[in-house]
Amino acid sequence: MDKERNPWKTIWLNPKATIRYIVEEQPNKHYILLMVLGGIAHALNYASAMNLGDIISVQEALIMCALLGPLSGFITLSLGGWVLHWISLRLKGQATLHETRLSMAWSWAPVVYLLPLWGIKYILFRNELFTSDKSYLESEPFLNGLYGFFSIVDFLITIISLYILFSALSEVNRFSVWKSLGAYLLMTLVFTIPVLILLSITSI
């Protein structure tokens, strides 16, 4: 890959060649930035999906995303990256731990790239972006349509991020994309099963 090319652009359509270039030429460049901004972006997604504004004020929710988002990004890349690396090794993967974490971090590039959209969405939808009460949006067909449009964009970005992750993991581990998918699903189970067990115990 041409060293003058920008990984932030090429990662979208050519993730395999891009992650190989990153691993070989700039393994640490932008890693912290992706961890911090990616963590904030995912925290905002969580706060919106879980209607965090129903529990605390929207202002408090935004502050929590700004402060705890980077910590969440660090934990996800550190712990989640380690688990994903361990599983990949069991599947005959050849990536190092840092290469696995790089694959995860750069799969966050699309959500980081579109982070400014959160500012636009907050200007348009205000507190209803983070609450279950959507009475104002529902009373305004144009805004309601925009909200649906942004929801579709968020879904597509999630799909693209997963595509980048599976492709990057496949490249650094030198195994198939299907094995990347399997490793990701197994990692998800590792984190999901203890949560389900805890919820079942607390509900007794």
Domain extent listing, the chain: 7-202
What pTM did the predictor assign? 0.90
Mean pLDDT value across the chain: 91
User: Two tokens at 84?
Assistant: 């994903």
Q: pLDDT (tens digit, 9 = 90+) per residue, 34-90?
A: 999 999 999 999 999 999 999 999 999 999 999 999 999 999 999 999 999 999 999
Q: pLDDT (tens digit, 9 = 90+) per residue, 147-168?
A: 999 999 999 999 999 999 999 9
pLDDT score at 122:
92
Task: Give start and end residues of each alpha helix (H) in 50-90.
Answer: 58-75, 81-90
Question: What whole-number distance in Å separates Cα of residue 12 and Cα of residue 109?
Answer: 8
The stretch 25-32 carries a mean pLDDT of 92
CA torsion sign, 150 to 153 to 155 to 161? negative
